[in-house]
Structure 1
Amino acid sequence: MTATSHDRLLTALVVHLHSTSVCSIGQGWRLAFAPFETITVHHVLSGSGSVQVGNDPPMPYTPGSVILVPPRLGHVVGDAGAEAREVSAEDHCGPFADGLAAFTAGTTPETLLLCGSIPAPHGQILGVFDLLRDASVGMPAGDVGHGVFDLMRAEVAAPGIGTAAITEALMKACLVTLLRARLRLVDRGLLQSPLPGDPRLARAALTVLEKPGAPHTVASLAERAGMSRASFADHFARVLGSGPMEFVQSVRLRAAARLLQTTDLPLKAVASAVGYADPSSLSRAFRVTYGMDLTSYRNLGDQAWSGPPGVEPREPSPVTGNFQGGEEKCEPSD
């Protein structure tokens, strides 16, 4: 399946992130990671240094930074000094806790990273990450971002049963916080739009993503974009492959699928939350896209996924590149 720009934007904040490893890098050392097929995410719990991706110039990081590395690009993390010793992460891998791997360079930790991977469910990187052609180092702002890092540090300091699940949830929360901040910067015209060519469309799309249940119309979204109704509708369809109201419906249906999958809210409440007058109206639209009614979808339980039928998440290849089916294939280094 080839995801359209429309589909990619809809999944912008659906983050399928998997916690994979903890990296400890000593002063005067660097870890080199081979290219992976997934996006690599490093959360810097402590330490300062730099990350160099491919042949690009090194980028500095500090505690609280989030490093994003696109697929199929090798990268080196650690001490930026010219005399630093560089070792392969794959050759310095051992167990950490609860199925996570540990990568170690040097003896006295200077940099501590919590690492994960973002798989590509459709064979492509979706949403905002579809635009990740260059590596980036960002820092989630606000109390939520800072609080999540404090919780990560506490869990890594005392790991045990459930560490993988806890760190994965915290990393996802941190990443969504970072994405939300980026989208709002786009909304204010401070970053390039995640929609090709026109940040005005991003303002309208963000309005729908943040408030899917609001009474959106082509006229209201055009006003949000600062465009005439006709120009907005035409440009939106050309860029995203569907009209504005088709986009609104898709966002609402995905929101409904998530609520059905993760809550026991009455169907009337689900319909109201996503902008439908009643469960019957929602169910008719839902059946067209998902091939079943609301109750049947809810009864799927853990098998449900908030995407249209025929689109299943692909099992990720973790950041180490050496795992399959969650089993560790690397051996501890000497």
Structure 2
Amino acid sequence: MSDNRPVVPIAAAELDRLLDALMVEFVRLSECLVGEGYRLELGGIDAPGLHYNLSGNGRLIVGNREPIPLQPHTLVVLPANTLFRIEVPSRRGPRGTWRTVNGRSMPSEPGAVRRYVANDGEPVIVLICGYFHASYGASTDLFGTLKGPIVEQFEEGDQVDGTLRTALAELVAQEVGFGAMSAALLKQVIVALLRRSLRSMDLWVERFSLLSDPQIARAFAEMVAHPGARHSVNSLARSAFLSRSAFVARFCSVVGRSPMMILRDLRMRQAADHLRSTTMTIDEVGRHAGYASRSSFVRAFRKAHGCDPASYRRSHARSE
């Protein structure tokens, strides 16, 4: 078997399986209204940010990078902890004086919509900023290795603005399940963004370490689609068309942990989901997660979640 990396991008079918299993956790949603001659400083949140311009024209600036032009339906994704500012230049040009609003110093309540206003009249641009975590299991963060901005220009027909407006409305209404609904809506936008990458000339999706190696992505897709199957290092290496040693080395380099450790995380995520949402017995949940022995399953579950499966099910039944 060859250990040379292929130059072809990840197959659409593999990407589809990875996106289907992606777990998106909602962190915060904000609305930003910026007027002419204003500069709104934001960022520094410990989660990737998705920034979508609903209307108007301006620019988004990260550090000393070139300004990112903002027009209606521009979407920008920034890595976690990124400081940035949104500007709408004055029509007076360089003679205009910037008025700066420091949004980072404004307090915000968990789960609430934060509205940042940097204008003294009608805003020129209106953005929705969503912060999130997108992961597989407990340790594989899809956006964890993102180093710089991703910029995509959508169109009105893509309906991204409608999806994000619905997420805002959910948070404002504070109905039961608003957090889960907001996470589901943010996932729709992330999926639309990653799908768009397949039609992009520069295939920026490969900047994600997990998606940069199609052979490792193929094996990982097998794991996330069927975590309870009888996987082994050898069988996963065969699915990636690599030798065992090359597979383990590349998997650890791309994902950051060994294949079997990641598989255990994926199995424990599936088991927790089954305990919360089904009436399967503990033994059935364990078998679906790939454990023939109840005691082995209970030990692994306790190590991952800090309690045994029965206690986990009872605690989540009380909270619902």
Compute the TM-score of the two structures, normalised by the length of structure 1.
0.63
- The residue aligned with 2:59 is 50
Q: Report the 3-state secondary structure (helix = DSSP H, G, I; strand = E; otherwise coil) of the residue aligned with 2:142.
A: helix
Matches within 5 A, 1:187-202: 191-195=206-210, 198-202=213-217
Confirm or deny: 8 A CA contact 2:41 2:100 kept in the other structure.
Answer: no
Q: Structure 2 residue aligned with 1:224, among 230, 239, 243?
A: 239
- The residue aligned with 2:32 is 23
Compute the TM-score of the two structures, normalised by the length of structure 2.
0.66
- The residue aligned with 1:248 is 263
Q: Report the 3-state secondary structure (helix = DSSP H, G, I; strand = E; otherwise coil) of the residue aligned with 2:217.
A: helix
Q: Structure 1 residue aligned with 2:100, among 73, 81, 87?
A: 87
- The residue aligned with 1:205 is 220
Larger displacement relative to structure 2 (57-66 or 154-163)? 154-163
- The residue aligned with 1:134 is 148
Q: Once the 2 structures are TM-superposed, how far is the Cα of residue 55 of structure 1 from its aligned partner?
A: 0.9
In 2, distance between residues paired with 1:251 and 1:170?
23
CA deviations on 1:144-164 (whole Å, 9 max, x unpaired) are: xx4564143256579853179
CA deviations on 1:36-82 (whole Å, 9 max, x unpaired) are: 24234323333444311111011234444443333444312243677
- The residue aligned with 1:101 is 114
Q: Report the 3-state secondary structure (helix = DSSP H, G, I; strand = E; otherwise coil) of the residue aligned with 2:227.
A: coil
Matches within 5 A, 1:175-324: 175=187, 177-178=189-190, 182=194, 191-195=206-210, 198-237=213-252, 243-260=258-275, 262-267=276-281, 270-271=285-286, 273-276=288-291, 282-301=297-316
Tell me whether 1:169 sits opposite 2:181 in the alignment. yes
Residues 190 and 32 of structure 1: CA distance in aligned 2, closer, same or farther (over 3 Å)? closer
In 2, distance between residues paired with 1:289 and 1:239?
22
Residues 151 and 201 of structure 1: CA distance in aligned 2, closer, same or farther (over 3 Å)? closer
Larger displacement relative to structure 2 (102-111 or 263-272)? 263-272
Confirm or deny: 8 A CA contact 1:192 1:199 kept in the other structure.
Answer: no
- The residue aligned with 1:322 is none
- The residue aligned with 2:3 is none
Q: Report the 3-state secondary structure (helix = DSSP H, G, I; strand = E; otherwise coil) of the residue aligned with 1:17.
A: strand
Q: Report the 3-state secondary structure (helix = DSSP H, G, I; strand = E; otherwise coil) of the residue aligned with 2:103.
A: coil
Q: Once the 2 structures are TM-superposed, how far is the Cα of residue 289 of structure 1 from its aligned partner?
A: 3.5
Confirm or deny: 8 A CA contact 2:145 2:208 kept in the other structure.
Answer: no
Confirm or deny: 8 A CA contact 1:19 1:171 kept in the other structure.
Answer: no
Confirm or deny: 8 A CA contact 1:30 1:76 kept in the other structure.
Answer: no
In 1, distance between residues paired with 2:245 and 2:170?
58
In 2, distance between residues paired with 1:189 and 1:22?
27
CA deviations on 1:273-309 (whole Å, 9 max, x unpaired) are: 54445866633432343343211112222899xxxxx
In 2, distance between residues paired with 1:167 and 1:24?
23
CA deviations on 1:2-28 (whole Å, 9 max, x unpaired) are: xxxxxxx9xx944443234211224x3
Tell me whether 1:36 sits opposite 2:44 in the alignment. yes
RMSD after superposition = 4.6
CA deviations on 1:240-269 (whole Å, 9 max, x unpaired) are: 565423322221112212333x42432366
- The residue aligned with 1:69 is 78
Q: Which runs of 5+ in 2 are unaligned?
A: 1-17
Larger displacement relative to structure 2 (84-93 or 215-224)? 84-93
In 2, distance between residues paired with 1:158 and 1:234?
44
